[in-house]
Structure 1
Amino acid sequence: MNQLSTIAPSRAALPLLDSEVLRTFVTIAESGGFTRAAQQLFRTPSALSMQIKRLEETLGQTLFVREARYVRLTSEGEVLLGYGRRLLKLNAEAVTQFLAPTIEGRVGLGITDDVVGRILPTVLAQFARSHPAVQVDVVVGRSKDLLAQLDDGELDLALVMSVEPGQATRGDIVHSEPLVWAGREDGVAVQRTPLPVTLAQQGCAWRRITLNALDHAGIDYRIAYSCDHCAGQEAAMLADLAVTAFPKSLIRSPLKRLHNDSLPPLGDYQVALVKRAGSSDASEVLAERVVEAFREG
C-alpha cells in the first residue's frame, strides 16, 4: 500500500489541491522535465519548481526524483498522477458543461478493429457526457478504406495504422508499441517449415512489415490464413494453424509472445489520427478525447 493512501484524515479540513498546480505536476510528469514543461506552460522552470515544492509540502510526500537532465516520479508521484489526470478531466468537463457553447451535429469516426476495444468505450462515454447533442457514427474498417472515406468527406476523423518507418505519415502519431511475433502457448506452428503465417489482405501495414521482415531474413514461409480482422487472425493462432505479427498489448492467453531466435525483429506498430480538412468543432473535441485516451493508456 502506498503512503498517500495511509494518511489518516484529521478533524481539521483537508487542504484542497489547486488545479493549476495539478496541471503543472501532470505536465512535468508527462514531459519528463521542468524545462520542457515550462516551455509548454509558458512559465519559468523556477516557478514550476516552487509550485511542486509547495505541493510536496502540502501532501508531505516527495513526488519527483530529480536527476541531471530528467525527473522521474516516485511511487507516491505515480499515485498522484492518476488522481491528477482524473481531477483535471473532471474539471474540464464541469467547465465545458456550463461555459462552453453547445456543440451539436454529427461526427464520423473511422477506426481499425485493433484499437476498438483499446479506447472506444472510454472515448464514447466521456464525449457523450460532455457533448450529449453530438451524434457519433463509428465505422470499423481497414486503414486504406477509412482514409478513402475520409477523403470523400464521409468521415471526419480516422484512426489508422501508420506506414512503415521512413515513409510519410498522414496525421499525427497517437500511439506506438512493439509489434511482436505471437502464437498459441502450446502450439507447434512456429516449428513448421515453411513457416505458416496469418495476415490481413493486401494493403495492410502489418502485412507489409511482416513479409518484408521474413523476406529480409530469408525465412521460408507460406500464408496459411488471411483475414482483415484481429479476431480472425486470433482464431487461426488459437487453432495453431499459423503465427503472426501482433501488437504486444493485444496478446492474451492462451496466445503468447514467441521468443524464437529464428524469427526476425518487426519494429514498432503505430496508430495515426487523421483529420479531414475543415473539420467541425465537434470533431476537434472528439479528436482531443481520442488523444487523451491513448496518452492515459
Structure 2
Amino acid sequence: MNALLDLDQLRSFIAIAETGSFTKAAEQVNKTQSAVSMQMRRLEERVGQTIFVRDGRQSRVTDTGVRLLDYARRMLSLNAETIAAFSTDAMAGTVRLGLPDDYAPRLLPTVLASFATTHPNIEIEVVCEQSSCIHRRIQEGRLDLGIVTHGDSTHEKNGRIIRSEPLLWVSSAHHSVHCQSTVPLALGTKSCCWRSSATTALSKAGKNYRIAYVSSSAAAASGAVVAGLAVAVLPESALMSDMRVLSHREGFPELPHCNIALIRSDAAQDRIHNALAAHIVNALDNVSGIMAAE
C-alpha cells in the first residue's frame, strides 16, 4: 500500500462505522450516498482489503475495518490538533454539558468522539442528572448546554427538539417477569414524565402492576430489567442487547414518543458553545426527516 490515505475518505469511513449506515453517514459528512460509496471503494483499494460487509440493512465493519478505524481516528485527531496548533483563530475553552444517563451510553460516544476529533482544544465537562436538574442548572448558569427529555410541562416551552424516539416497554431477554399477573415495574421518581405515561397507559389498559423499583438512574432501572426483576420504560436509544421489547401481543399498551431537546444557558453564547450545539444538532437530529416523511 504505497498510496497515501485520504483524510476525507477516513472521515466518511468513521461516520459509517459509528452510524452503521451509508445513508446516515452521508448526511453526517454532507455528501451524497453514492459519493460516500465511491469513497469507500477507493479506500478499500488503497488498503487492499475489505473493510465493510452487509449485515441485513446495516453495514458492519470487518476485522480489518476495526483495525483501520483506530488508525483513522488517530490520524484525524492529529490532523485537527496540528491545524489548531498553527491557527491563530483556533477555538479553545471548556463547555459544560448535561444529559440524563438514559441517553449517555449511546449519545455520548456519538456526540463527543467526533467533536473531539475536529475540536481538540475544547474540553467538555459532562454532568449526568435528571432532565429537571439539568434545566435548573442551565437556568442557574452552572451548565452551558443540556440534552434533555422534552416532556416536563414546567419546561415545555424551553429548548429545541432535535430527536424523537419510541418510548418502549422492556423486559429481560432471558426471563419472563412480564408474564406475572401483577407486573413489577422499575420506574423513575414521581416527577418523571415517563413514569406518568407508563402508569396511565397500564391503568387505561386494565393491566395490574406494582412499582417495585424507583430510581432517577436509568442504569439502576436497566439493571433491574436485565436481572429479570422488573419491566421498565426506556427510549429506543437506551436499549441493550439482553433486553426484549414488549408490545400489545404481551398485553402492554403503546406509549408516546420521547422527544429529546437541546437547551442552553443565556450566558452560553461564545463560539465554543455554538460549535458544540451545532455538532449535537447535526449528530442527533432526526426530527427534520420525520417531518418530511409525514
TM-score relative to the length of structure 2? 0.63
Could you tell me which of 220, 231, 244 is aligned with 1:257? Answer: 244
Q: CA deviation at 1:144?
A: 1.6
Please give the alpha-carbon distance, in whole angstroms, between the structure 2 residues aligned to 1:239 and 1:72.
29
- For 2:292, the equivalent position in structure 1 comes to none
SS at match of 1:232: helix
SS at match of 1:283: helix
- For 2:215, the equivalent position in structure 1 comes to 227
- For 2:148, the equivalent position in structure 1 comes to 160
Could you tell me which of 187, 190, 197 is aligned with 1:202? Answer: 190
- For 1:181, the equivalent position in structure 2 comes to 170
- For 1:6, the equivalent position in structure 2 comes to none
- For 1:99, the equivalent position in structure 2 comes to 87
Could you tell me which of 157, 170, 175 is aligned with 2:159? Answer: 170
Preserved CA contact (<8 Å) 1:160 1:273: yes
Please give the alpha-carbon distance, in whole angstroms, between the structure 1 residues aligned to 2:184 and 2:254.
17
Structure 2 unaligned residues grouped into runs of 5+ = 286-294
**Distance change >3 Å, CA 273–CA 90, structure 1 → 2:** farther
Q: Structure 2: which amino acid aligns with 1:232?
A: A
SS at match of 1:32: helix
Q: CA deviation at 1:143?
A: 0.4
Q: Percent identity?
A: 31
Number of residues paired by the alignment? Answer: 269
Preserved CA contact (<8 Å) 1:113 1:140: yes
Larger Rg: 1
Cα shift readout 1:7-54 (whole Å, capped 9, x = no counterpart): xx4xxxx22243456667888996739xx86x946xx99999987887
- For 1:280, the equivalent position in structure 2 comes to 270
Within 5 Å, which residues of 2 pair with 1:1-297? 9=1, 14-20=2-8, 32=23, 40=30, 79=65, 86=73, 88=76, 90-99=78-87, 101-118=89-106, 120=108, 123=112, 127=116, 130-131=120-121, 134=123, 136-163=124-151, 170-173=159-162, 176=165, 179-183=168-172, 185-188=174-177, 190-237=178-225, 240-247=228-235, 250=238, 256-257=243-244, 259=246, 261-266=250-255, 268-269=257-258, 271-277=260-266, 278-287=268-277
**Distance change >3 Å, CA 100–CA 206, structure 1 → 2:** farther
Please give the alpha-carbon distance, in whole angstroms, between the structure 1 residues aligned to 2:60 and 2:184.
46
SS at match of 1:186: coil
Preserved CA contact (<8 Å) 1:26 1:84: no
Preserved CA contact (<8 Å) 1:182 1:245: no
**Distance change >3 Å, CA 97–CA 130, structure 1 → 2:** farther
Preserved CA contact (<8 Å) 1:103 1:131: yes
Preserved CA contact (<8 Å) 2:22 2:37: no
- What is the root-mean-square deviation in Å for CA atoms of aligned residues? 5.1
Cα shift readout 1:193-238 (whole Å, capped 9, x = no counterpart): 3322121013324223323432343322222221111233245446
**Distance change >3 Å, CA 32–CA 186, structure 1 → 2:** closer
Q: Structure 1: which amino acid aligns with 2:129?
A: G
Please give the alpha-carbon distance, in whole angstroms, between the structure 2 residues aligned to 1:45 and 1:235.
39
Preserved CA contact (<8 Å) 1:23 1:84: no
Q: CA deviation at 1:124?
A: 7.7
Preserved CA contact (<8 Å) 2:226 2:243: no
Q: CA deviation at 1:89?
A: 5.3
Cα shift readout 1:73-111 (whole Å, capped 9, x = no counterpart): 7988x9599589735555334323332635454422212
Q: CA deviation at 1:183?
A: 3.7
Structure 1 unaligned residues grouped into runs of 5+ = 1-8, 65-70
Q: CA deviation at 1:156?
A: 0.4
TM-score relative to the length of structure 1? 0.62
